[in-house]
Amino acid sequence: MKIEEYLRSLPHSIMTGEDVELRNDVLREIFRFASLNTNDIFYHLGCGNGSGVVIALQEFGVKKATGIDNSPKKISCAKRTLEEKNLYNGSFRCEDIFHSDINDASVILFWFADEHIIEKMIPKFSQLKNGSRIITIWGPLTSCLPDKVVFPYILNVVPFKRAKDLREQMLAVFETDCIDFVVAWEFAERYSKAIGPKEVGNDRFLTILQSLSIWINAKNLGIACGDEIPQPVKNYMGILRTFFNIEMEHLLNQKST
């Protein structure tokens, strides 16, 4: 079956990431990466259980922290935690992020992969005061160049810098002139480690899928190193086809997304 078919067969909550929560050690790493500090007004969009807000207040001493999520269950659980910890400069709001007032934000953690959601939020983010930092994971905001990258964490600073094209954007994220399979693998692995559980589990499978997808995108954009398909790419495609009945070869020479 084609990879697209395989992805469609996965449970909806996995594909949307609804129930994926960033680990506390990862949240701390992200906040250090963004230099979150006592002058900041922090927002976590899609805050889930609220750990991001609690850590921002307790460990990074932000002036104010707000978590927004459209799940009433998650917000009431987050509110309870805040009350238990007596953190008065924190709050949680059960709202749709599209309609939320975030005007006083200086740092926003925004981990959404859906292009429609990202594109709808960019005009809102663009109105924030200059220097405001939007943290994204895996890629910068659509059509923008990143201001700082420690992959998979990306900092987008207002006013955003527009990328000429996807090619320029991808090279800026990977901080290289061309992408070979070793780079693709390393970046895919950093992503799986950041978003996955601490135990290894099926990380290797995810890393194979991610690294192939990075390399194929690079190839289709003309920024893969060399003209040949590297042997590891052929091998991993073979393994996926033979042992998992997943086919990725047809993605080569397609328009990249």
Ligand X SMILES: C[S@@+](CC[C@H](N)C(=O)[O-])C[C@H]1O[C@@H](n2cnc3c(N)ncnc32)[C@H](O)[C@@H]1O
Binding site for ligand X (CB under 6 A): 17-18, 20, 46, 48, 68-71, 74, 96-97, 111-114
Residue with Cβ nearer ligand X (65 or 68): 68
Residue with Cβ nearer ligand X (42 or 111): 111
Count of other CB atoms within 10 angstroms of residue 146: 22
Measured distance between the N- and C-terminal CA atoms of the chain, rounded to whole angstroms? 20
Give min distance, CB of 69 to ligand X, in A: 4
Structure tokens at 170: 């991808």
Give min distance, CB of 112 to ligand X, in A: 4
Residue with Cβ nearer ligand X (70 or 143): 70
Cβ atoms 44, 66 nearer than 8 A = yes
Cβ atoms 107, 42 nearer than 8 A = yes
Residue with Cβ nearer ligand X (50 or 181): 50
Give min distance, CB of 85 to ligand X, in A: 20
* Nearest residue (beta carbon) to ligand X: 17
Residue with Cβ nearer ligand X (6 or 112): 112
Give min distance, CB of 30 to ligand X, in A: 12
Cβ atoms 45, 120 nearer than 8 A = no
Structure tokens at 143: 């059509």
Structure tokens at 72: 């009433």
Give min distance, CB of 37 to ligand X, in A: 23
Residue with Cβ nearer ligand X (36 or 121): 121
Which of these, 207, 205, 249, lies nearest to 229 by C-alpha position? 249
- Exposure string of 89-120, with b = 16+ CB inside 10 Å and e = fewer, is ebebbbeebeebebeebbbbbbbbeeeeebee
Cβ atoms 210, 185 nearer than 8 A = no
